[in-house]
Structure 1
Amino acid sequence: MDMNQKRKTTTSIGEMTKGVQRTMVTLTLCFLLNLLFFCLASAISRDVDHLISFKNSLPNPNLLSNWSQIHGVCEFQGVKCKGNHVSSLTIRGLPLEANFNSVSTHILSLENLEALSLHSTNLNGSISALANCTIRLKELDLSSNNLHGSVYDTASLVASCHSLQSLNLSNNYIGQAFNRFSPVLSQLRMLDLSNNMITTNEDIHWLFSKLRLLKHLDLSNNTVKGTMPQITNCNSLQYLTSGERTISCLDLSSNQLTGTIPVGMFSGCLNLTYLNLSSNYFTGMAPPDIEACTNLITLGLSKNNFSGVFPNLSMLVMPRLQVLELAFNNFNGSLPKSISKHTNLELLDLSANKFSGLIPQPLCTSNISRLKVLHLQDNYFTGSIPHSLSNCTNLISLDLSLNLLSGSIPGSLGSLLNLQDLIMWQNNLNGEIIIPSELSSLKSLRNLILDYNNLSGTIPDRLANCTSLNWISLASNRLTGSIPIWINKLENIVILILQNNSFTGSIPPGLGDCKGLIYLDLSNNKLNGSIPPTLAKQSGKLKANLIVDDRLYFSEIIHNNKLCHCMNIYLEFDGIRYNDLMRVPIVRYCNSMPGQRAFVSITNQNLINFISMIFLDLSYNQLSGHIPNEISTMSVLSALFLEHNHLTGPLPQELGGMTRLQSLDLSHNMLEVSIPSSFSALSLSDLDLSNNRLSGPIPEQGSLVTFPEYEFENNSGLCGLPLPPCNSKSVPKEDGSQQSSTNHGSTRVLWIVLGLLFFIFFIIGFVIGQFLR
């Protein structure tokens, strides 16, 4: 074989070898691809099997209707995928009624699951069941369910989920049977056990010692008793890793912790950013060594028994501080001017303490201030309202109520274009211009509450420019003039309180055009004329989806006190101690009367549930004429006060159809005729019909007979329970005057006959007596 043939043979063999190699590579790749596809399909199939098995374990599988083989797993309700694998499952607010064991068996074992949220799904059972967690699971939210177990069981759950970093078990029943023996849980960074049943501070101490990388620990709203457990230098909370301190949030609020905060408790908490100890029973000075927490952004110490002066020196070393809440304590003394150095402060709440002196002029040193909420109510601040507050250009809420402030309202506040709350009731404010013209530019103003001051003059027309107003309260001042007719143009007005002033003229009929007006109090003024039937125009026309700010109010109903000329005392008292309401003269003056109570207002609720006014007080005026029948169309009215006026005519039969009416006072008028029988349908808790010209029987059915006699007194013609029973003299018969005169004649004859018989028996007795002698 020559050389050319050998070369050809060699080349041919080489090409065949390469072809075989290529074929082998191709076959290998196909095999691997098929194997990968099979594995992927198998993994997807396992995800589907797990989820459908969980669905079938539910009492009502139809709640997850699209969890079926005909849908892809990534189309299942609440599922999110990465690469066709279930990576996240979120179901919230669906009443699954699943047992935790079923969750552990079918869901936590999903191979690629990274996050699971089953918030408020009525889960039940014990978390002590061994969890079959996938190695990828990092976030687990089982909050607002019916799960139970101990803090130790929580630790066991975390230990079985090796990569878990965030666990939320808030609003369950965790806390029974503390066990101190458990593994170190170094990987967990967020643990929320708020709103549970944890009772011992040993649990807290254990958590501090075991959860070494913890960044967020929330134990609020439990019933932990005892003193604050030692966390010396925060060593159990801070663990240095990769050059980063890891703890950032500690919330122990709303528990039952007592005593003083030990020295050194927070001396090592350099990187703590959120600390909330509110709503406990701590005493003594503000937490010592708090200045060590130089990175704090939020500090909450409200609703304790801390005392002493404002912790200014501690605050000065916290340049990042944005939220400072010290309300409802016993701090005293004056506010230092250096508070203005906290330029990052957004919320400052010092309400319900014993601070005194002047409000610092440089509270906001310049218009770069970030302050949004300033609450100084229920203290003893004196002097005038600082004009420098105009530098707080981001201010949304300003409350200076229940202090000793004097002078006028600064017109410079009109530059606070973001202001929504201007609340300054119970001070010594005065001035004939109650609302400076500059304030008319506050388009965002929603709550204007200036009750119980010495303000005089009229309500300025410029206030009509504040079109966002929903609460106007100017009670117990010295205001005069008429009630402005432009109020009906305030589309968002919900509460209007002008009681105890000197307003004159008639009630504007246009108030019936205020479709959201649910509380109207014009009592104790000098209003005259008739009650406008148009007040009922807004019935059934309440503005849809109208929402009012969430605020508290105090209400005191006064009975039979001639010295208290208002039936109702109505006060907004967010940030006010209930006992400190006695500082309000009218409350203190009338305090001996029954009916005192505090309410949480209907605010922060969707008012679509109400279709008309719920409170109407026009008492202590000079109103005349009849009670309009149209008032009965206010179907949800719960309180109607028209006493001490000059109203005449009969009681409208239609009032008996107001089944939600609870308080009705029509006393001290000139109402006449009888009480309608329809009043038997009323379910009243308060009633006064005294001092009128009513007659006839009181309806025997219903709640009317349950009231004391004085609620009906000085109506000479009324009879029946609770008054003396009706008789022929007091109750005219239905047969007419002829039958009445006939009955009276028969009665006279009967008395004459009885008199003659008595005389005859007397003579006979006398004769027999003489004979027996």
Structure 2
Amino acid sequence: MAGDVDLLISFKNSLPNPSLLSDWSPNQEPCSFRGVVCKEGRVSSLTLQGSALSPDFYSVSTYLLSLPTLEMLSLHSINLTGDISVPTKCAEQLTGLDLSSNNLHGSVSDALSLATPCSSLQWLNFSSNSIGVYPLKKGFPVPTPFPLKSLDLSYNKIESTGDLQWVFSGLGILRKMDLSSNKINSSIPEISNCTSLQHLDLSSNSLSGNVPAGTFSNCISLSYLNLSSNHLTGTAPPDLASCTHLTILSLSYNNFSGEVPILSLTSMPNLKLLEIGFNSFSGSLSGSISKLTSLEILDLSSNGFSGPIPASLCIKAASSLKELYLQNNYFTGNIPDSLSNCAELVSLDLSLNELNGSIPRALGTLSNLKDLIMWQNYLDGDIPAELSSLKSLENLILDYNGLTGMIPDLGNCTGLNWISLASNRLTGSIPAWIGKLKSLAILKLGNNSFTGPIPAELGDCKSLVWLDLNGNLLNGSIPPELAKQSGKVAVSLLTAKHLGHNLLTGLIPPEMGELAHVAVLDLSHSQLEGPIPTSFSAMSLSEIDLSNNRLNGSIPELGSLATFPKYVYENNSGLCGFPLLPCSEESTSTLMGDVSEQSSTDYELSEGWWITVGFLFCIFFNVGFAIGLFL
């Protein structure tokens, strides 16, 4: 016990600021020290996470790793610094060492060298340090095999091809290896001894080239494989069929091409997540993918897939599928009604394809659906009223289609956060029930044929940050209730608010100036009258457009209104002030025009008078001259 106290107090005294461990006292039992856990009166575990203790690795190696009965040591995010060195002594029972999120330096061999004196070490976490800044030490013996079961070197600075090959050469009993978010810039070497490996993460590196045949052929226990966010090319890894225990497979954000190896995938009955988005895979999607009955997340987005969406994708009502991402491909044809069989579906994204036909009414039975995203297709028909049954719906995004009819009553979908129906052919009035959606942040209804007034109830949407009603046939005045969201949001992108390109009339409500956080305001191309409210001077606008209305009066000089170019105020009946002509100059110019015109008239009269006088003078002179001659 005395040895434990001495070692802990020695560590405390080595800190730049020992007072940070004020409750560590030589007069107290070490089991009462903050972060210490004991077994049978001896220190078995020490956790000092998240405190800026700023120790050097030497003091950790000298004092803490020497605690005789220590089993686990966690020093996550304590600003641990220095170069990694091999401790002269290590607790024989130490099985876990977490040194993540610090500022340690060293090579990969330095990190793994800790497994030699700490002979019982099973998991080692060096994530988020500076491992790899030094090259492998020459002559360092390759452990055959590693004694570790879990090794995390993610978010470091490993980049050498030799480092990767060296690590892969001694996997042994290693079950988990995480090398993600480094700078490894080689191809993937063959992994010769990976029969025990269950988790392999090489994502977010600079791996390139084809994945050689045989790379994963011996990885028969692999359940997690992540190769995403690299520069890998060619077809999908050819040995995936050997990995029959895979539950997670991510190949996204690479340059893989060709068809999806569906036969390899269907050999993985436990596969729950398949991510192959942002590649160059092509061809049609085989209906055989429905054999992956355990699949919960399927992401095929941003590839070159074409043809119809297989009706068999959700042919079984017992499907486990929760997230389906098929956006940004070339899928054609109708949306299968059978998608409604995926009763667990939470997110469905079919946007940016070439789908046509109507939205299946059967989708209204997906009681867990939160995201229904189908923008930029060729869909027509109405928005199914059956969607009102989707009480979990949060995001409804159907822009840029050919949808017609009126907006159905979705007032029961009280969790709606995003409604985006812009650029369709929708008609009717904007429904007042939208005002009941307390979580609604984005409402985009622009470029349709909506008529009638703007509902004052929209002012009850306390979370609204983006309102777009631009390009419709709305009439009436702007309801002052729209300002009721004032101060409720920290950042606003209200683009009307986008209320422009309508048939709005009347005055701009002064209350809109209370929307202090609005960044963009477009009220252009309507029939608004009267002055710009002086309350607009208090708004923190980055963009405004009031052009093409019937506004008059002086542009307020305070705030940001005077910083905008004149085109945002042009084509109004009587606006003046910077950046347009000054109001006084305009009046003066009119008056001077009258004076100038009068002066011109006077000049013409004066000129005529002198001509007449001159003419008469000539007559009198000639007459006088003639009389003189006669006399």
* 1:78 equivalent in structure 2: 35
The structural deviation recorded for 1:665 is: 1.6
d(CA) in 1 for partners of 2:473, 2:13? 72
Is 1:203 matched up with 2:153? Answer: no
Where do residues 87-106 of structure 1 align in structure 2 (5 Å cutoff)?
87-106=44-63
The structural deviation recorded for 1:189 is: 1.2
Is 1:370 matched up with 2:320? Answer: yes
* 1:470 equivalent in structure 2: 417
Give 2:139's aligned amino acid: F
d(CA) in 1 for partners of 2:500, 2:169? 65
Give 2:556's aligned amino acid: P
* 1:617 equivalent in structure 2: 498
Change in CA separation of 1:123 and 1:629 when aligned onto 2, cut-off 3 Å: farther
d(CA) in 1 for partners of 2:93, 2:203? 33
Change in CA separation of 1:73 and 1:668 when aligned onto 2, cut-off 3 Å: farther
The structural deviation recorded for 1:502 is: 0.8
Give 2:553's aligned amino acid: V
Change in CA separation of 1:695 and 1:538 when aligned onto 2, cut-off 3 Å: closer
* 1:480 equivalent in structure 2: 427
* 1:342 equivalent in structure 2: 292
* 2:368 equivalent in structure 1: 418
Q: For 1:706-760, what per-residue CA distance to the aligned partner results, in whole angstroms no more than 9, with x for missing partners?
A: xxxxxx6xx5xx15xxxxxx9x854659xxx9xx89x969x969x98xx99xx9x
109, 112, 117: which one aligns with 2:74: 117
Give 2:503's aligned amino acid: Q
SS of the residue 1:328 aligns to: coil
* 2:614 equivalent in structure 1: none
* 1:494 equivalent in structure 2: 441
Give 1:367's aligned amino acid: A
Give 1:669's aligned amino acid: N
Change in CA separation of 1:682 and 1:347 when aligned onto 2, cut-off 3 Å: farther
The structural deviation recorded for 1:65 is: 4.0
* 2:572 equivalent in structure 1: 692
Q: For 1:491-542, what per-residue CA distance to the aligned partner results, in whole angstroms no more than 9, with x for missing partners?
A: 2211111111111111111111111111111111111112222112122345
Contact 1:399–1:424 under 8 Å retained in 2: yes
SS of the residue 1:426 aligns to: coil
Change in CA separation of 1:492 and 1:65 when aligned onto 2, cut-off 3 Å: farther
Contact 2:462–2:488 under 8 Å retained in 1: yes
Contact 1:155–1:182 under 8 Å retained in 2: no
d(CA) in 2 for partners of 1:271, 1:396? 30
d(CA) in 2 for partners of 1:731, 1:168? 77
Give 1:482's aligned amino acid: S
* 2:111 equivalent in structure 1: 154
Is 1:107 matched up with 2:58? Answer: no
Is 1:255 matched up with 2:205? Answer: yes
139, 162, 166: which one aligns with 2:123: 166
SS of the residue 1:89 aligns to: strand
- Superposition CA RMSD, Å: 3.0
Contact 1:454–1:477 under 8 Å retained in 2: yes
Change in CA separation of 1:177 and 1:648 when aligned onto 2, cut-off 3 Å: same
d(CA) in 2 for partners of 1:507, 1:474? 16
515, 535, 538: which one aligns with 1:657: 538
Contact 1:540–1:611 under 8 Å retained in 2: no
Q: For 1:464-484, what per-residue CA distance to the aligned partner results, in whole angstroms no more than 9, with x for missing partners?
A: 111111111111111111111
d(CA) in 1 for partners of 2:92, 2:310? 57
The structural deviation recorded for 1:372 is: 1.0
Give 2:516's aligned amino acid: S
Change in CA separation of 1:207 and 1:506 when aligned onto 2, cut-off 3 Å: same
Change in CA separation of 1:449 and 1:223 when aligned onto 2, cut-off 3 Å: same
d(CA) in 2 for partners of 1:496, 1:141? 47
Contiguous gaps of at least 5 residues in structure 1: 1-42, 239-245, 543-609, 699-711, 720-725, 760-773
The structural deviation recorded for 1:314 is: 0.9
Change in CA separation of 1:684 and 1:691 when aligned onto 2, cut-off 3 Å: closer
438, 442, 457: which one aligns with 2:390: 442
Count of matched residue pairs: 603
The structural deviation recorded for 1:230 is: 2.5
d(CA) in 2 for partners of 1:199, 1:64? 38
The structural deviation recorded for 1:312 is: 0.6
Change in CA separation of 1:60 and 1:674 when aligned onto 2, cut-off 3 Å: farther
* 2:485 equivalent in structure 1: 538
d(CA) in 2 for partners of 1:206, 1:193? 14
Is 1:457 matched up with 2:405? Answer: yes
SS of the residue 1:128 aligns to: coil
Give 2:155's aligned amino acid: N
Q: For 1:590-626, what per-residue CA distance to the aligned partner results, in whole angstroms no more than 9, with x for missing partners?
A: xxxxxxxxxxxxxxxxxxxx27665521111111222
SS of the residue 1:227 aligns to: coil
* 1:217 equivalent in structure 2: 177
Deviating more after overlay: 670-679 vs 476-485: 670-679
* 1:627 equivalent in structure 2: 508
The structural deviation recorded for 1:413 is: 1.4
d(CA) in 1 for partners of 2:61, 2:515? 54
d(CA) in 1 for partners of 2:438, 2:244? 47
Change in CA separation of 1:132 and 1:517 when aligned onto 2, cut-off 3 Å: farther
Change in CA separation of 1:62 and 1:187 when aligned onto 2, cut-off 3 Å: same
* 1:279 equivalent in structure 2: 229
d(CA) in 2 for partners of 1:92, 1:691? 64
d(CA) in 1 for partners of 2:120, 2:203? 29
* 2:309 equivalent in structure 1: 359
d(CA) in 1 for partners of 2:80, 2:574? 62
The structural deviation recorded for 1:303 is: 1.0
The structural deviation recorded for 1:108 is: 2.4
* 2:457 equivalent in structure 1: 510
The structural deviation recorded for 1:395 is: 1.1
SS of the residue 1:655 aligns to: helix
Q: For 1:300-335, what per-residue CA distance to the aligned partner results, in whole angstroms no more than 9, with x for missing partners?
A: 111111111121111121111111111111111111
Contact 2:492–2:519 under 8 Å retained in 1: no
Change in CA separation of 1:614 and 1:318 when aligned onto 2, cut-off 3 Å: same
Change in CA separation of 1:505 and 1:141 when aligned onto 2, cut-off 3 Å: same
Where do residues 519-538 of structure 1 align in structure 2 (5 Å cutoff)?
519-538=466-485
d(CA) in 2 for partners of 1:629, 1:159? 75
* 1:181 equivalent in structure 2: 139
Change in CA separation of 1:66 and 1:336 when aligned onto 2, cut-off 3 Å: same
Change in CA separation of 1:516 and 1:680 when aligned onto 2, cut-off 3 Å: closer
218, 227, 235: which one aligns with 2:187: 227
Change in CA separation of 1:309 and 1:79 when aligned onto 2, cut-off 3 Å: same
The structural deviation recorded for 1:680 is: 5.3
Deviating more after overlay: 284-293 vs 69-78: 69-78
Change in CA separation of 1:693 and 1:295 when aligned onto 2, cut-off 3 Å: same
Change in CA separation of 1:477 and 1:98 when aligned onto 2, cut-off 3 Å: same
Contact 1:657–1:681 under 8 Å retained in 2: no
d(CA) in 2 for partners of 1:67, 1:175? 35
d(CA) in 2 for partners of 1:645, 1:672? 14
d(CA) in 2 for partners of 1:624, 1:217? 66
The structural deviation recorded for 1:80 is: 2.6
SS of the residue 1:113 aligns to: coil
d(CA) in 1 for partners of 2:67, 2:292? 49
The structural deviation recorded for 1:697 is: 4.4
Deviating more after overlay: 688-697 vs 346-355: 688-697
Contiguous gaps of at least 5 residues in structure 2: 611-631
Contact 2:539–2:560 under 8 Å retained in 1: no
Q: For 1:620-679, what per-residue CA distance to the aligned partner results, in whole angstroms no more than 9, with x for missing partners?
A: 1111222222222222211111111212222222222223x2122222222222222203
